[in-house]
Amino acid sequence: MTDQQPTDAPLHGLRPRRTRRTPALRAFVRETSLDVSQLIHPLFIVEGTGVKKPIETMPGHAQLSVDQLEEELREILPLGIRSVLLFGIPSRKDAAGAGAWDPQGPVPKAIRELKRLAPGLLVIADVCLCEYTAHGHCGIVHDQSGVVDNDATLPLLGRTAVAYAAAGADIVAPSAMMDGQVAAIRSALDVAGFLDTPILSYAAKHASAFYGPFRGAAESTPAFGDRRAYQMDPANARETLVEVQLDVDEGADLLMVKPAGSALDIIRQVRDAFPHPLVAYQVSGEYAMLKAASQRGWLDERRAAIESLVAIRRSGADQVITYYAKEVARWLSTAE
């Protein structure tokens, strides 16, 4: 006899695998939840009627005319999706992006129709000019340099936000990355009487390589230059907190980090530094990569998509804008 325990004796100490043994145990100890109520579904709205134009680089998504929204609602509402984000694509563009604040433009029309058909739906309207300008930049550009006139752009963003609020948007979301845009929009909304319309600021929007499919879908690729002079350098983390603090000081009610997958550390830093509701945007390139890999049999799409969204939630995001909203909603309804 020896005092030493045999190597085949049971272990009586901490054994984490005990709580991984069955689906019920795994669900019971799961630290991060993913629920359909946390998903925001993007929509691309075009002018005209009878338009449902599939977006080749984003399988499962299409440009929709306003009359197609009823069919879209019949699909998303039974899935439990209760939030949408709108982008507009006008039939005509100009140097100033005047179609953005046209009350009869695609986004105001879509807001009114969505509110008529589904009054309880949360409608978020993206506020930017890139889809509406002939040059594809997010504001006024005076020459081919691609340099946006920041201060000349601010009142136009304010007019756009007011047009969306007047149509019934629940939240306006400025994404142009102009210095002072939140303050300008807050002032414009207040003067117009929309004191209770919240602002979801794209406070940390990086000049990312993952936006390619979106720019095709929204027809907003710059005709010259790029947006690195006004969107954030993806290499900078400390600068993020400066940008977010400025937007908070200007009156942002909610904050966003974009893109999400390559900025999980940024999401966590913003979550730790600010108490505001935090949204993260799983952008078109992230979606397209998962789709392409799964179509080639390289990934289990369901597991990979859900894992990516759980990581975004685990990093600190309260809500996630994702092109996977409909599919994930279906998957969650049949989860183990």
Q: What is the pLDDT of residues 102-133, one digit of tens each?
A: 999 999 999 999 999 999 999 999 999 999 99
pLDDT recorded at residue 145: 75
Count CB neighbours of 167 within 10 A.
Answer: 20
pLDDT recorded at residue 10: 58
Is 205 marked active-site? Answer: yes
CA–CA dist 209, 134 (Å, integer): 22
CATH number at residue 323: 3.20.20.70
Is 80 exceeded by the pLDDT of residue 63?
yes
- Asked if residue 227 is part of any domain, the answer here is yes
**Number of domain units in the chain:** 1
pLDDT recorded at residue 330: 97
- Asked if residue 12 is part of any domain, the answer here is no
- Asked if residue 296 is part of any domain, the answer here is yes
* Options 93, 109, 258, 291, the catalytic residue: 258
Model's pTM, two decimal places? 0.92
pLDDT recorded at residue 216: 83
Is 90 exceeded by the pLDDT of residue 45?
yes
- Asked if residue 18 is part of any domain, the answer here is no
| Choice between 246 and 229, residue whose per-residue pLDDT is larger | 246
Is 109 marked active-site? Answer: no
Beta-strand relationship, 254-258 and 39-46: unpaired
- Name the residue range of residue 137's domain: 33-333
For 160-175, what is each residue's pLDDT tens digit? 999 999 999 999 999 9
Is 90 exceeded by the pLDDT of residue 136?
no
* Options 93, 109, 205, 291, the catalytic residue: 205
CA–CA dist 33, 224 (Å, integer): 43
Is 50 exceeded by the pLDDT of residue 1?
no
